Amino acid sequence: MRQRSWRFCLLLFSLCFVLLGRTQTPSGGELHFCLHGEPKTFNPILVDDEASENVRYLTGGVLIRVNRQTQTLEPSLAESWKVSNDGRKITFHLRKSLQFSDGTPFTSEDVAYTMRLLMDPQTHSATGDAFRSGEGSVNVQTPSADVAVVTFPAPLAGLERLFDQVAILSAKSPKKEMSVLGPYYVSEYKAGSYILLRRNPNYWKRDAQGNRLPYIETVRLDIQRNRDIELMRFRRGELQLINRLDAEQFDRLQKDNAAAARNAGVGLDAEEMWFNQVPSSPLSDYKKKWFQTADFRRALSMSINRADLARIVYFGYATPAYGPVSPSNHFWFNSSLTVPKYDPQGALALLARAGFHFDNGTLKDSAGNRVEFTLITNSGNTAREKMATMIQQDLAQIGVNLKLVMLDFPSLIERITRTFDYDACLLGLVNTDLDPNGQMTVWLSSGEDHQWNPNQKSPATPWEAEIDQLMREQAALANEQLRKAKFDRVQQIVAEQQPFIYLVNKNALSAVSADVTGAAPVALNPQAFWNIDTLRLGAAGQLGANK
């Protein structure tokens, strides 16, 4: 009897051990990092700010995911998909037996519900706008619980990539958008303070050993706008990740703790300046003439020492930029573009060709007007202020008198979008989409982000007409190589005409604590935690969670 009881205990103990081994995650703990603003919404359809986008990435389940490292498409909630030859229809074959975080089953009805909501004009979804290919409505058919067919009124280039931004909502869950298919769900939220994300027990993904992902039990996102405080807390060990570090902070971290400073190389974001070419602007006629002269723009571009900007302002963590696409966008970057040199003498020769003359250290146009203009940028951005000051000295070498004005952001936006009462502007472009379709409003002459001369009724110049045509053509093509050829030509025109004078592409810089394993920051957003479901925490992270 005693022997049987002993054997029973041993069996029970072994069973418990096996069960614990299977259910216990290999990491657990709490990952702690910051959002740099308050998320405006938790509804993934309505996201249009960076903080909400980060929450959507961490919580939302998508049909197709762009792998941030390889920049290729990977199956996610959809096991497979097929785009029709005419580029109007996409058929998804969904994974079976999946559930939302609250246990509601996932079916093709949820895809249909999400797409209907996304395309509803009343929703005003920025994500939905990318899917508007032409007049007419988007039709979603659900022939079975695991097949969804989405048909668009007109062909949509790069259609599959757009689904990376579409987090599927549940049509039936009483929790509505808080019921999710991503690795985490929102467990607590204190406005202005923090968001606590908890591991989704129904997340579909498993690792090679069959363990359910994600490994980390909770993610605490503190809302912290002050980047210096964020870095200080990281140094104290209170945070384990920092995304989008600025170059100066990164440089200091690199000196203190080289292992934590992660440089993912050149990023997608660019800093650029442009001249006001709006014909109806209140500028004097001679200034309008300067700014509309391609040789003037090219000459000024040639006289800016971009290498110095990258070295001094960004401590070497930036690359001189000459075109609209960053080299980190592997597929769309046009590597055949000629890289112009910093050449003040060449710039003066170009200006002479355009009727300007350099006299006694001063540049004058053919009518004798001294070349001087004002460059505006937003106040409080130290890097931009430094760049503007360096450009001021560079342009002084060719006799241009550049005045700098820092404006608060609302005043600046008022000037560049409504009154057009400015000469030149220096700002940055944040690129989240690899595909050129994401920049349609920048390149089409009718676009509101066509900053040098927005909202044109018809293209003001032949080269803008050509860009319009190329952008529309590429957007209607399904063949990626043909699209690439057309967009290469757009990049070439932009490099020749210099409507935007690109200055630098900033590196993607982040900080990762030694507690975190598996982190491999990349250039694409969200840089440091793109692989959140496979990140693990070491002993220190678990200790932090227990505390």
Partner 1 sequence: MSGPRLLRVVCYSVLSAVFAAGLFAEVITHYSYASQFREVPNAAPSAMHLLGTDSLGRDLFTRVVYGTRVSLLLAPAAALLATAIAGILGGIAGLRGGWTERTILAFADLSLALPLLFVLVALRALLPLDVSPILSVIATFLTLGLLGWPSSLRVVWAAARRLRESDHFLFATALGYSKTRLLLRQVIPNLRPILFALFWISIPLFVLTEATLSMLGLGVMEPLPSWGNLLRGCEDFSAMAANPWRLVPLFVLIVTVICFQYILPTSGESA
Contact residues: partner 1, CB under 8 A: 228, 231-232, 248, 252, 308, 312, 372-374, 376, 378-382, 385-386, 388-390, 392-393, 403-408, 411, 421-423
CB 375 → partner 1: shortest distance, Å? 9
CB 27 → partner 1: shortest distance, Å? 31
Nearer to partner 1, 421 or 449 (CB): 421
Copy the structure tokens of residue 55. Answer: 């929450």
Nearer to partner 1, 406 or 478 (CB): 406
Nearer to partner 1, 388 or 535 (CB): 388
Residue closest to 336 by CA, chosen among 320, 347, 325: 325
Nearer to partner 1, 237 or 327 (CB): 237
92 backbone dihedrals φ, ψ, rounded to 5°: -105, 135
CB 512 → partner 1: shortest distance, Å? 19
Name residues whose C-beta falls within 8 Å of residue 502's C-beta, 6 or more positions apart in sequence.
270, 271, 272, 321, 322, 323, 324
Question: In angstroms, how far is the first alpha carbon of the chain from the final one?
Answer: 46
Q: How far apart are CA 519 and CA 257, in angstroms?
A: 16
Nearer to partner 1, 308 or 449 (CB): 308
Q: How far apart are CA 414 and CA 412, in angstroms?
A: 5
Eight-state DSSP code of residue 176: G
Nearer to partner 1, 152 or 373 (CB): 373
Q: How far apart are CA 113 and CA 181, in angstroms?
A: 15
Q: How far apart are CA 304 and CA 394, in angstroms?
A: 6
3-state SS assignment for residue 512: strand
CB 280 → partner 1: shortest distance, Å? 17
CB 312 → partner 1: shortest distance, Å? 5
Q: How far apart are CA 242 and CA 255, in angstroms?
A: 16
Nearer to partner 1, 369 or 446 (CB): 369
CB 275 → partner 1: shortest distance, Å? 14
CB 52 → partner 1: shortest distance, Å? 27
Q: How far apart are CA 164 and CA 63, in angstroms?
A: 7
CA 232 to chain CA centroid, Å, is: 26
Alpha-carbon dihedral angle through residues 51, 57, 59, 62, given to the nearest 10 degrees: 140
CB 180 → partner 1: shortest distance, Å? 38
Nearer to partner 1, 139 or 411 (CB): 411
- Residues across the chain: 547
3-state SS assignment for residue 212: strand
CB 406 → partner 1: shortest distance, Å? 4
Nearer to partner 1, 290 or 373 (CB): 373
Q: Which single residue is written with the structure tokens 């592997």?
A: 330
Copy the structure tokens of residue 273. Answer: 């300046």
3-state SS assignment for residue 520: coil
> Is there a contact between 479 and 487 (Cβ–Cβ < 8 Å)?
no
CB 140 → partner 1: shortest distance, Å? 48
> Is there a contact between 341 and 536 (Cβ–Cβ < 8 Å)?
no
Nearer to partner 1, 296 or 332 (CB): 296
Q: How far apart are CA 63 and CA 86, in angstroms?
A: 21
